[in-house]
Amino acid sequence: MDIPKAHYTVLLGFVEVLDDLGGKSDVAGIASRQGLELDDLVPILETGEMLGLIQVSAGEVSITEKGHLFIVANPKARKKMLKDVVVNLDTFKKLIDLVKQSDKGYITKDEVLEFVSNESLATQSPDGDPDISDEFNWIVEWGRLLLILNYDANEEIISIRKK
């Protein structure tokens, strides 16, 4: 499952706090300092690792060289750094290909939900059923944020954002 599942501002704040702590901390300690439950911290850690900003090993989290560059970059450069990673994640590559292959130049929300379901990307909800709507929301959030995708909520269609 290679979809970032933490909000950009939460991730940014976490990396900034980690940097303020000297670039390294134990996971439990930073969770406590931030008032986060460990369950709340897992998606932040997974997203940070996926994007190459942090590294987690043996209960320790540390900022990577890319994470340091991310912190000192301006907001536009930060998003460019993340976009370069996200467009190369398997899920986003396949989704972009799906849109490009569409005769209409866009795909519908239902087609994205089917894609997510077929790719077995959906996380399991507490009752054991795949929660593909969460996956869809994360795709749209990160796709819009990084200027990769457009989503028209009224028409429920996704297209590739033009540069």
Task: Check pLDDT > 70 for residue 125.
Answer: no
Return the CATH class of domain 8-72: mainly alpha
pLDDT, average across residues 26-35:
87
- Interatomic CA distance for residues 106 and 102, integer angstroms: 6
Q: Where are the alpha helices (DSSP H) in the chain?
A: 8-20, 27-34, 38-50, 65-72, 75-86, 90-101, 109-118, 132-145
Q: Name the residue among 30, 18, 20 with its Cα closest to residue 59.
A: 30
Task: Check pLDDT > 90 for residue 136.
Answer: yes
User: Considering the chain, what percentage of its residues have pLDDT values greater than 90?
Assistant: 77
Question: Average pLDDT of the chain?
Answer: 90
pLDDT of residue 120: 64
pLDDT, average across residues 86-115:
95
The model's pLDDT over 53-91, given as tens digits with 9 standing for 90+, comes to 999 999 999 999 999 999 999 999 999 999 999 999 999
pLDDT of residue 162: 87
pLDDT of residue 35: 87
* Domain boundaries of the chain, sorted by first residue: 8-72, 87-160
- Interatomic CA distance for residues 37 and 107, integer angstroms: 37
